[in-house]
Amino acid sequence: MEGLDQLGKKLDMLLKKHTALEAENKRLKQIMAAQNKSVESLTKKVASLEQGMVSVRIGSATENEEEKDNMRHQLDSVIMEIDKILNTLND
């Protein structure tokens, strides 16, 4: 009889521990989800800032109109090539 009482107490203790661990697991998953959202938001912000920096560098690097026109022409040709590649991949 005493062995069954001890087994019952150990089982209750394990069940309480299991419940506590499940609650902690749920809490940690919520924290992870919030941190993942934060990381995603910060990554987007960094990408946006990098694009802005590139634009500023391009704008400041080109002093005269002829250089700007050449750069626009090069960018247009690169964009057209990318569009062709994307269209090919979509087919």
**CB burial readout 78-88, b (16+ within 10 A) else e:** eeeeeeeeeee
The rounded mean pLDDT for the chain is 85
Q: Which helix (DSSP H) or strand (DSSP E) does residue 41 occupy?
A: helix 2-61
| Residue 72 clears pLDDT 90, i.e. is over it | no
Q: Whose CA is closest to 51, among 41, 63, 40, 43? A: 43
pTM of the model: 0.51
Report pLDDT for 32: 93
